Structure 1
Amino acid sequence: MLYQTLLNTRSHVDFIKLDNVSKMFQNLTVLKKVSMEIHKGEFIGILGPSGCGKSTLLTLLSGLEKISSGVLHNNSTKGKSAFVFQDSCLMPWKTLEQNIAIPLEILNLSRQEIEEKVNKYLKILDLYKFRKNYPRELSGGMKMRASIARALVTDPEVILMDEPFASLDQILRERLVDEIYEIYLRKNLTGIFVTHNIAEAVFLCNRIYIFSFHPGQIIGQIQINKSNMDMKKYRNSDVFHQTCVKIRTILENSNE
């Protein structure tokens, strides 16, 4: 797999900004005074224990939920964000290509445009020969790749990912993370990636925000510079392992 290092071309203008954002459900505070900046072209990791509000943060960024207090600025184009959930959420009565076409049909694109875009991402994610298959005929990894293709087919500016690889084995997870990283570089995406997997976040992300247990608050931020890194060797490098240990230490200390 060929990686191109384009990280030094990323913008440092705030694309999405949260200032003291809190979220409550009735009397339960899920997120408390969260402040962060996301620059255009960055891939941001969100790490923290279960119940710290990571998924809730994504729903706020997507507009699916409203903040309870604070300020959230989102300078991305309205309707140009995509969400990849933990489950592939494929319609069982539709073929793979029909599932990927759903958001394009909602946008009322022509049949020719839909076919061209769907085939493009089927090929990018190595699913083209399975395009006529139904979800029940696909492996877990194929279904998750289909979910990613469906998210990317509208050419979003921002992609929100909520533990999309949680149910997959380690080798397959790494392979899909590699694919996402390469697509990110090619398309100049801005990404927000929620995961429990430290190594996954360190490989994929430029910066990682670390959250405390309930209520979720930012307790650490790690900047990762991969501009001169050979990504084929990165997972086995000292800097990769040192970064993983640093994050693990922050998480462990937060539980004391």
Structure 2
Amino acid sequence: MIEIQNVTKRFQDKKMSVTALNHVSFNVGKGEIVGLLGENGAGKTTLLRSVATLLTPTEGKITIDGHDTVKHPDKIKKQMGVLFGGETGLYNRMTARENLEYFAALYHLSKHETKVRIDELTKMFGMRDYLDRKVEGFSKGMRQKMAIARTLIHNPDIILFDEPTTGLDITASNVFRQLVQELKSQGKTILFSSHIMEEVSMLCDHVAMIHKGQLVYHGEIEALYKEENSQDLNYIFMSKLVRGDEGYAI
């Protein structure tokens, strides 16, 4: 489904070149949930933006369902939902309902499809009380719920989440986790970054660890536990960084 092949991304300013990703390669199969782990600045968001067709790799390529992200971005965007940390993509002067209707129209959903999806997402995230209020007065948690709903409005097959539970309370975070399990049962493919190790351990089939732009591990999470003789994902992650692990499992 998602093939990341030897991807390097460099950013150049007047004084220096910064390598955000350094020859990263791994695949995400259809229906898999892959957790992307790494410190701040490790390259997680750069990788997600590259998969989302928002950045062009300096070297290597990314294909999604056989489509190159650089050559065929429009075909990819139609089947993808994207949420980046700190970027809700919402319009403050519009109500929550109007925002969802607007994004549904961008994906050419019919009025009936739009109404059904809004009803489903409103019920799922408990947004009925503020669905017809302007977004400008929303709390951070309310905005994040809306941002997730906006990401899913067109029922995408591939979903990218960057720190999706940021700003959510315990109840809303649990609703999100249940949602991910439901999306998995529907055969959706999900790649998401998180600093919450428990969340990754609970939801993911596979994990990819990035350190300073390099992939230090990719493989099944259960195989990782067996390899490290531990189920403490936080300990395993920190241990791999200290050891400077450069190999990874397929």
Which band: TM-score by shorter chain? 0.7 to 0.9
2:58 corresponds in structure 1 to 68
User: Are 2:106 and 1:116 equivalent residues in the alignment?
Assistant: no
1:245 corresponds in structure 2 to 235
1:24 corresponds in structure 2 to 10
Q: Mapping of 1:142-161 within 5 angstroms?
A: 142-161=142-161
How many aligned positions are there? 226
How has the CA–CA distance of structure 1 residues 243 and 30 changed in structure 2, closer, same or farther, with 3 Å as cutoff?
A: closer
Please give the per-residue CA displacement for 1:151-198, whole angstroms capped at 9, x wherever unaligned. 1110101111111223445x3564244233233234321111012222
Q: Displacement, 1:241? A: 4.5
User: Are 2:66 and 1:80 equivalent residues in the alignment?
Assistant: no
Q: Secondary structure at the match of 1:63?
A: coil
Q: Which amino acid aligns with 2:27?
A: E
| Contact 1:18-1:35 at 8 Å conserved across structures | yes
Q: Which amino acid aligns with 1:43?
A: I
Normalised TM-score (structure 2): 0.80
1:92 corresponds in structure 2 to 92
| Contact 2:5-2:60 at 8 Å conserved across structures | yes
User: Are 2:46 and 1:56 equivalent residues in the alignment?
Assistant: yes
Give distance in 2, aligned partners of 1:252 and 1:201. 21
Please give the per-residue CA displacement for 1:94-135, whole angstroms capped at 9, x wherever unaligned. 111111222211234333332222222212222233211222
2:71 corresponds in structure 1 to none
2:70 corresponds in structure 1 to none
Q: Which amino acid aligns with 1:69?
A: E
Q: Mapping of 1:147-226 within 5 angstroms?
A: 147-168=147-168, 171-172=170-171, 174-213=173-212, 216-225=213-222
Q: Secondary structure at the match of 1:105?
A: helix
In the alignment, structure 2 segments of 5+ residues that lack a partner are: 67-74, 223-228, 246-250
Q: Secondary structure at the match of 2:237?
A: helix
| Contact 1:159-1:191 at 8 Å conserved across structures | yes
How has the CA–CA distance of structure 1 residues 65 and 198 changed in structure 2, closer, same or farther, with 3 Å as cutoff?
A: same
Q: Displacement, 1:207? A: 0.7
| Contact 1:177-1:204 at 8 Å conserved across structures | no
How has the CA–CA distance of structure 1 residues 118 and 72 changed in structure 2, closer, same or farther, with 3 Å as cutoff?
A: same
2:248 corresponds in structure 1 to none
Give distance in 1, aligned partners of 2:242 and 2:4. 26
| Contact 2:201-2:221 at 8 Å conserved across structures | yes
| Contact 2:81-2:159 at 8 Å conserved across structures | yes
Please give the per-residue CA displacement for 1:194-236, whole angstroms capped at 9, x wherever unaligned. 12222222222111111112xx0011234135xxxxxxxxxxx
Q: Secondary structure at the match of 1:94?
A: coil
In the alignment, structure 1 segments of 5+ residues that lack a partner are: 1-14, 226-238
Q: Which amino acid aligns with 2:32?
A: E
Task: Determine what percentage of the aligned residue pairs are the same residue.
Answer: 26
Give distance in 2, aligned partners of 1:243 and 1:59. 25
Q: Secondary structure at the match of 1:29?
A: strand
Q: Which amino acid aligns with 2:55?
A: E
Q: Which amino acid aligns with 2:64?
A: N
Q: Which amino acid aligns with 1:16?
A: I
How has the CA–CA distance of structure 1 residues 186 and 94 changed in structure 2, closer, same or farther, with 3 Å as cutoff?
A: farther
